[in-house]
Structure 1
Amino acid sequence: MRISLPYGKGSKDLEISEERIEGLLYSRTHEYKSQKSESEIVRDALRNPIGSESLEILSKGKKKIVIISSDHTRPVPSHVIMPEVLATIRKANSDAEITILVATGAHRASTDEELRDKYGDEIVDNVRIVMHDSKNEADMADLGTLPSGGSLMINRTAVEADLLIAEGFIEPHFFAGFSGGRKSILPGIASYKTVLANHCAEFIDSRYARTGILENNPLHIDMLYAAEKSNLKFIINVVIDQDKKVIAAFAGDREKAHYEGCRFLKGLAGAEGKKADVVVTTNGGYPLDQNIYQSVKGMTAAEASINDGGIIIMASECSDGHGGEEFYKTFKDGASPEKIMKDILERERNETVPDQWESQVLARLLMKHEIVMVTDAPKQMIEDMHMHYAKSMEEAFSIAEELLGRDDYRVTVIPDGVSVIVE
C-alpha cells in the first residue's frame, strides 16, 4: 500500500503492507466538496454574519479600521479572504484608513516575499501593513489583568482602531482546542509577557488543554477575555482542506461565529483512534512543517493513537530548523525529558520562559515514546533534542523496529496530524 504524506511543498511516499496497518486516520475535510468557489464561500459568509451586524454596517462612519491577519507560519488563504474583506469595507466606507496588522504572536516578522506570497502584490503595494512585535513594549496598550492573573498587554494599533476585525482559519489546536477566533488577539497581537503568562506550565498541564477541547480549557478562557477587552468586533474564519483550499467560512461575532466554525470542523475532523505500536504522522506540509517547533503539533495526534511505549515517526521537512532558540536549548542542555519536565512544572506563571509550552508538550511525548524524525533538519539538531534522525521512511521504520526489538508490530498512519481530532 502506498500512502502519500505531505512534506514541505511536496510529499513523501510511505509504502507499507496492508496487513500491518491498524488504522488510517484522515480528516473528512479533505473529502468535503463545495459547489461554490473559494471567493464565493467567503463572500457568502460576509453577507450572512452569525450573531452580528454585517461588516458593511459596522464599517460605516469608521475612520481607523484594523484587520488582524495570520502570519507566514499559518496556511490561511489570505489571498482569497483579504480581497473580499477589503472590497466589503471600501464599498461601505471608501474614506476609511485600513491597516492590516500581521499577528506574529511570538514568531519572527514575515518577510516581504512571504507577504507577497500571502496577499499578492496589489495588497502589499497598496494597503498599510503593520508587523506585530510582541517584544516592543512601546507598541503595547495596558488592558488590565487576565482571569488567570497575567497582565493583558495588546498591540496599540488594534486597541486604537474604531473597528477591529480578524481573519484566520480554524483547525484543531493541540492545547487551545481550536485555532481561530480569539487566538487572533492572544497570542496573535499580545505582548510577549502576556503570551508567557497564558502559556504557563499549569495551563499546558491541564487535561482540558488538548486538541478539540474548549470547555474548561484555561488557555481558551484567558483568550476569550483578551478578545473581549480588545473589542474584537467581527471575524471571518475559514476551514480548509489538505490542498489549503477554502471549503467553508464563518463570519460575524467573535464567539458565536467561531463556535459555529468549530462545530463544523469537529464534525469532519473527528477520527476514532486506532492504537498501534508505531504511529506515522506529519504536520500537514508547508507552511506548518517549516520547523521542529511547529511539528510538535502533529506529534500530539500520534500521542492520542499509540500504545504505551510505542514509537512515533514524524515526517516534517523543517527547512527553517528548530524554530525557537530557547526551545532548542532546553533539550540540548537538558539531561533528560523527565528533568526538563520537572524544571518546567516548578515554574510559576510569571516565571514562564520563551517557548516553554512547546518544550513542555515535547517533553511529555518523549517521556512516553521514542520519536523518529524524517526530516531535512540537521541530524545533530534532532539528536540534541533527544529524538532519532532518519533521512527516509525506510530508515525510520528500521530504527523503530530496532527500538521495539521485534518485527510483529502494527502501524497507524495519520497523513495530516494537524487536521485530525483523534477521539
Structure 2
Amino acid sequence: MNISLKYGSVYRTLELPDDADVTVMQPRDLPILEDMGRALDDALDHPIGAPRLEDRPRPASVAIAVPDETRPAPLKILLPVLLDRLFRIWPDLDPASVRIVVGGGLHPAPDAAQLARILPDDLRGCTVVSHDALASPMTSFGITSRGTPVEINAAYGEAELKLVIGMIDPHQFQGMTGGAKGVAIGCASKALIQHNHSLMSNPEARVGNILDNPTRLDINEAGRMIGIDLAINVSLNPAKKAVALLAGEPVAVLEAGASFSEKVYGLPLEEPFDIVVASCGGDPKDICLYQAQKGLNLASQCAAEGGRILLLAACPQGVGDDHYLNYVRQFGSPEEQMREFEELGFRMGAHKAFLFSRTLTRFAVVVDSDMDEKSLAECHLSKGDAQATLDRWLGEFPPERKPRIAVVPSANTTYFYRPAR
C-alpha cells in the first residue's frame, strides 16, 4: 500500500504493509468555484451586512490588507478584479492613495522577491507597503475590553476606506482565520499580537471555535475599533481551489465562511491512533518550521496518548522566526522549556516553543525535513527519514498487535472532533 503526501512543492510516497490498519483522514470535497474573478464580483455585488462599494462616497484614500506568502491567498486573481472595480466606481481616485499593505504579523517584512511571488504584475500604480510589526509607524485605536492595545500599521490605519483580503482556515487557537485577522494580527504591532496571543491558554481558545473563543473575539473587537469597512475572504480546499468567496462586514463574513471550512476540514474522531503520519499540506504550509508547528499540533489531536507522530515538513526557509529560535535553544528539553514558560508567562517566540513542547512531552515525534539535524535538535525535534522511521515503528509492535495508523494529508488545516453520542 502506497500513500503520497505533499512535501514542499513535490510529493513523497511512503509504503505501508498491505494488511496495515490505515485510515486516511482526508478533508472532504466541496464544489469549487470555477471563476474566482466572477465570484468576487458577485460577492461585491451582494456584500453580507455591509453596503456595496458603489453605495459609498469616494474616499480620499484606500487601504487593502493582504497576507504574506505563508498564506496561499489567490491575490494574483483577486487584486486585479478589486482594483478594476475601485477605479471603475471612482475614476478620479488617485492610484498612489490606494495602499496595498502586505501583512504577516511578526513575520519579517516581505522583500521585493517575496512581493513578486504573491502580487500581480500590474497594480495600477498603487502603493505597496511591507508591514513590519517592530518598525512600521502605527496608528492607535485604543484598547479592547480584554486589554489588547489596538495598534495598526499607519498606512492602513490612516486610510479612509479600509478593506482586507484573507482566508478562512482552521486555526489552532483562534478557531478560524479570516474576518479582521488579516489586519488585527497581520498588520498589527508586536504589543497587539503578544497580548492577543496571551489569551490562548483559555480552554475555549481551540481550533474550530469562533463563538466563545477569547482570542477570536478579541480580534473581532479590534477590527470594529479599527473600522474595517469590508472583508473579502476565500475558503480553499487542500488543492488551493476556492470552495467559497464572500465579502462584507468582517464578522459576518467570518461566520458565513467558517461553515465552509468546517465542512471541508472538520472530521469526526471515534478513537485515537497509535501512529499518525502527517503532511502539513505542502508549500506554503511547510515553508518553515514556525508554520509547520500548526500541522504537528493538529495532527496530535488524533494521536493516542504516548503515541507516535511522523511529520513531513520541507521547511525550505528553515526555522522561520529568530525570536522563537533564540528562545528555545536555551533549554535542554521540552520539559525544561515548559517549566520556564509557566513560571514567567506568555512571550512571543516563547509561546511557539510552548506549543511545540506541549506536543513533544506527550508523544514521540520525528520530522522528515530539508532542515539539518542540528537545527531541528535545537528546537528539541528529532530528524528522521519518513520511510525508515515508519518501518522502525511498525517493527516495534508485536505481530498480534497491529497498530492503528492515521494518515493526515493536510495536517495544518484538518481538525478533529468527538461525535455526539
TM bucket, shorter chain:
over 0.9
SS at match of 1:126: coil
Per mean C-alpha deviation after superposition, the further-off stretch among 103-112 and 331-340 is: 331-340
Whether 1:311 and 2:305 are equivalent positions in the alignment is no
Q: Residues 352-402 of structure 1: CA distance to partner in whole angstroms, max 9, x if unpaired?
A: 433222112111101101210010001111122222111x32122145457
Alignment partner, residue 261 of structure 1: 257
Whether 1:111 and 2:111 are equivalent positions in the alignment is yes
| From 140, 151, 154, the counterpart of 1:153 | 151
Cα distance in 1 for residues equivalent to 2:173 and 2:356: 12
Q: CA deviation at 1:337?
A: 1.4
Q: 1:398 to 1:381 in 2, by over 3 A?
A: farther
Q: 1:19 to 1:192 in 2, by over 3 A?
A: same
Q: CA deviation at 1:154?
A: 1.4
Whether 1:95 and 2:92 are equivalent positions in the alignment is yes
Alignment partner, residue 129 of structure 1: 128
Whether 1:216 and 2:209 are equivalent positions in the alignment is no
Cα distance in 2 for residues equivalent to 1:80 and 1:356: 37
Cα distance in 1 for residues equivalent to 2:208 and 2:33: 27
SS at match of 2:85: helix
Q: 1:405 to 1:339 in 2, by over 3 A?
A: farther
Alignment partner, residue 420 of structure 1: 414
| From 68, 80, 92, the counterpart of 1:71 | 68
Cα distance in 2 for residues equivalent to 1:307 and 1:184: 34
Q: Which amino acid aligns with 2:413?
A: S
SS at match of 1:376: coil
Alignment partner, residue 81 of structure 2: 84
Q: 1:65 to 1:415 in 2, by over 3 A?
A: same
Q: Which amino acid aligns with 2:64?
A: I
Contact 1:4 1:11 in 2 (8 A): yes
Contact 1:235 1:257 in 2 (8 A): yes
Q: Residues 194-243 of structure 1: CA distance to partner in whole angstroms, max 9, x if unpaired?
A: 1111112xx22222111111122111121111101110110100011222
Cα distance in 1 for residues equivalent to 2:330 and 2:160: 47
Q: CA deviation at 1:249?
A: 0.2
Alignment partner, residue 246 of structure 2: 250
Whether 1:323 and 2:320 are equivalent positions in the alignment is yes
Cα distance in 2 for residues equivalent to 1:182 and 1:344: 29
Q: Which amino acid aligns with 1:334?
A: F
Contact 1:171 1:418 in 2 (8 A): no
| From 49, 52, 55, the counterpart of 1:54 | 52
Cα distance in 2 for residues equivalent to 1:238 and 1:300: 24
Cα distance in 2 for residues equivalent to 1:36 and 1:43: 13
Whether 1:364 and 2:358 are equivalent positions in the alignment is yes
SS at match of 2:250: coil
Cα distance in 2 for residues equivalent to 1:293 and 1:364: 15
Cα distance in 2 for residues equivalent to 1:328 and 1:27: 32
Q: Which amino acid aligns with 2:114?
A: E
SS at match of 1:232: coil
Q: CA deviation at 1:62?
A: 0.6
Whether 1:386 and 2:380 are equivalent positions in the alignment is yes
Q: Which amino acid aligns with 2:371?
A: A
Q: CA deviation at 1:275?
A: 1.5
SS at match of 2:229: strand
Q: CA deviation at 1:18?
A: 4.7
* Residue ranges of structure 1 left out of the alignment (5+ in a row): none
Percent of aligned pairs sharing the same letter? 26
Q: 1:367 to 1:406 in 2, by over 3 A?
A: farther
Q: Which amino acid aligns with 1:207?
A: P
Per mean C-alpha deviation after superposition, the further-off stretch among 75-84 and 271-280 is: 271-280
Cα distance in 2 for residues equivalent to 1:35 and 1:259: 19
Whether 1:39 and 2:37 are equivalent positions in the alignment is yes
Contact 1:279 1:306 in 2 (8 A): yes
Q: 1:207 to 1:21 in 2, by over 3 A?
A: farther
SS at match of 2:3: strand
Alignment size in residue pairs: 411
| From 369, 392, 396, the counterpart of 1:375 | 369
SS at match of 2:122: helix
SS at match of 1:67: strand
Cα distance in 2 for residues equivalent to 1:265 and 1:315: 23
Cα distance in 1 for residues equivalent to 2:277 and 2:202: 26
Cα distance in 2 for residues equivalent to 1:399 and 1:382: 20
Q: Residues 7-52 of structure 1: CA distance to partner in whole angstroms, max 9, x if unpaired?
A: 1111111222353234211111xx2223632222222222221111
In the TM superposition, what are the counterparts of 1:286-301 in structure 2 within 5 Å?
Answer: 286-301=283-298
Q: 1:379 to 1:405 in 2, by over 3 A?
A: farther
TM superposition score normalised by structure 2: 0.93
SS at match of 1:42: helix
Q: Which amino acid aligns with 1:80?
A: I
Per mean C-alpha deviation after superposition, the further-off stretch among 222-231 and 152-161 is: 152-161
Cα distance in 2 for residues equivalent to 1:334 and 1:400: 28
Alignment partner, residue 330 of structure 2: 333
TM superposition score normalised by structure 1: 0.92
Cα distance in 2 for residues equivalent to 1:319 and 1:331: 20
Per mean C-alpha deviation after superposition, the further-off stretch among 208-217 and 17-26 is: 17-26
Q: Which amino acid aligns with 2:182?
A: S
In the TM superposition, what are the counterparts of 1:149-228 in structure 2 within 5 Å?
Answer: 149-200=147-198, 203-228=199-224
Alignment partner, residue 12 of structure 1: 12
Contact 1:66 1:161 in 2 (8 A): yes
Cα distance in 2 for residues equivalent to 1:325 and 1:173: 22
Cα distance in 1 for residues equivalent to 2:33 and 2:103: 31
Q: Which amino acid aligns with 1:269?
A: Y
